[in-house]
């Protein structure tokens, strides 16, 4: 039997044959200010999403945020997982970028220090200008 519009949640068969998660049918989620979710709430949402217990839309309704926000949480979590499982140097992309910048700055500094030393030597070795006569 298909669920009609206007029937209460959980009172008839789910729409489209999809089963509702416990999170959606409980209806007792405490909502705070939209978009302001604690780390624990975001973690819970991502774990439910990745485990297949709830969809993005279900979690967005439950936590009072946009579906794109839940997708952002998921993307951040997957990025963090990827970073933690990275092999090799063990350095993040940002750390590698900073190391490259530091190496470039050190080269530039060395180049300028050499130029400065050469200019100082040239000035010391230059003969002084002859003085003017007072006549």
Query: What are the domain boundaries of the chain?
Result: 33-85, 88-123
Written out in words, the top-level CATH class of the domain with range 33-85 is mainly alpha
Identify the pLDDT of residue 67.
93
Lowest mean pLDDT among 9-23, 72-86, 118-132: 9-23
Tell whether the model's pLDDT for residue 11 goes beyond 50.
no
pLDDT category of residue 25 using cuts at 50, 70 and 90: very low
Calculate mean pLDDT across residues 40-64. Answer: 91
Alpha carbon distance, N-terminus to C-terminus of the chain:
121
DSSP label at 1?
-
The residue that leads in pLDDT, 2 or 48, is 48
Tell whether the model's pLDDT for residue 49 goes beyond 70.
yes
pLDDT category of residue 39 using cuts at 50, 70 and 90: confident
pTM (whole model) above 0.75: no
Tell whether the model's pLDDT for residue 16 goes beyond 60.
no
Note whether 59 and 23 are within 8 A (CB): yes
Q: What percent of the chain has pLDDT over 90?
A: 40
Burial 37-57 (b: 16+ CB within 10 A, else e): beeebbebbbebbeeeebbbe
């Amino acid at each position: 039997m298909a669920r009609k519009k206007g029937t209460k949640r959980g009172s008839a068969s789910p729409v489209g044959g999809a089963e509702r998660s416990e999170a959606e049918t409980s209806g007792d989620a405490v909502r705070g200010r939209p978009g302001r979710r604690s780390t624990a709430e975001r973690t819970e949402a991502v774990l439910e999403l990745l485990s297949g217990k709830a969809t993005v839309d279900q979690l967005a309704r439950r936590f009072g945020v946009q579906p794109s926000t839940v997708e952002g949480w998921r993307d951040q979590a997957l990025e963090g997982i990827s970073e933690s499982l990275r092999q090799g140097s063990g350095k993040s992309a940002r750390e590698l970028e900073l190391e490259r910048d530091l190496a470039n700055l050190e080269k530039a500094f060395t180049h300028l220090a050499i130029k400065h030393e050469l200019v100082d030597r040239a000035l010391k070795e230059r003969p002084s200008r002859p003085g003017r006569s007072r006549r």
